[in-house]
A and B are shown apart, each in its own frame.
Chain A
Amino acid sequence: MHLHHPHDGHGHGAPAPSGAAARRPDGTRRALRLGLGGPVGSGKTATVAALCRELRSELSLAVVTNDIYTREDAEFLLREAVLPPERITAVETGACPHTAIRDDISANLEAVEDLEDAVGPLDLVLLESGGDNLTATFSRGLVDAQIFVIDVAGGDDIPRKGGPGVTTADLLVVNKTDLAPYVGSDLDRMAADAKAQRGHLPVVFQSLREEAGVDRVAAWVRERLAAWRA
């Protein structure tokens, strides 16, 4: 699914017209772009923070947040000091977070390019969507792959309900598994439903409060990065 386009870069020395080209105007390979979407409160920002802590010693990283009406997510990441502030940018979305990641990706593309200009070269840019509904997915013109984050407390019927996020995301993360006994969520049923909706696409059940934490998602990111560099 990688966006290997035949026209790497372009011939005029001006910024690339779209996000799909694999090379930057100076001829270097751009960073891998991963999108994280999912409903409000499912743990997208916590997953981004955990990924930054896990990967920052081995990779050059940056994050773009798409907050709905605040800079809360960007400020959480800054407060947690998961990355230096110049590596975190917030995009404003005009009350429509899915528009900014799918229908009109221009602001996010600018944010990614500005980060690459300012603190690059980068290996990986994580783009976090504002909390949205089950139909919110990233444009393939913006990201190379996307993670959809849901949680067990949001209802164990979400995988069964499907929707583009659950069904088509390159990785489905079912977060907060430690809460399952308290909210009466059936993890086996969620896994079976996810399998039925997604076929061979991977699913990770995680709890960021347990020791393994974000390890399996981080491993998936490393695989993606290896494929992107290959």
Chain B
Amino acid sequence: MKTAHVHALYVHGKSPVHDLEAHVKVAAMLLFVFAVVATPREAFWAFAVDAVLLAGAVRAARIPVRFLFGRLLVLIPFVLFAFLLPFLGGGARTEVLGLSLSIEGLWGAWTILAKATLGVTASIVMAATTEVPDILLGLDRLRVPRLITAIAGFMIRYLDVVLGEMHRMRVAMLSRGYDPRWIWQGRALATSAGSLFIRSYERGERVHQAMVARGYQGHMPVFNSGSAPVGSWARAMTVPSVAWVVTIVSLLT
């Protein structure tokens, strides 16, 4: 189980951001993203300041730029939608390079591109510098219900097991010369999904029995419950607090 405490977005390394406590980072990330979302779309300078702040955080966390751009690809479907907006949008229109574009649509495209890119980058910085158990512990400290973090913990721990099982079923199908890829071949996929469900469910039952046999009473023991020192809060909160100041200034002007 090589990935028990490391996930797809994690970048192994040592940096000031890696050292910060998880709940501090999650809180800072949330505050920053909401500051970005609340920024009025006309305030180009505010988005520029946010981008510079975020670039500073990326640098401090020593996240490779190539890795960051690879992860930004999740946005592609919405980028496509953003490019359609100037053509679909209503209201006044303007001429750009001989194309008639909706002004409202152009604003919409800009808003989505700017805010979504900043938001995703912020969550990548958090995820890239925090291991799974720390994120879960951090959510616990932020008063997320225990049941949610416990279920999420099991989900992440067994994700690779379930994915491995799915992969083995697919290999078994391929090695027998069947490669379903169209909707009318969906039955083969769905029946293997059915057995995947039964295997996952029965594994869940076995895991629970094994845990009860080892003294499980409904929640996991917590080993380090120390809270974060004031210094960590101060360092982590610089980024979101500057972002909020920028947002408030841009809202007032």
- A and B: interacting chains: no
Residues of B bordering A, CB below 8 Å: none
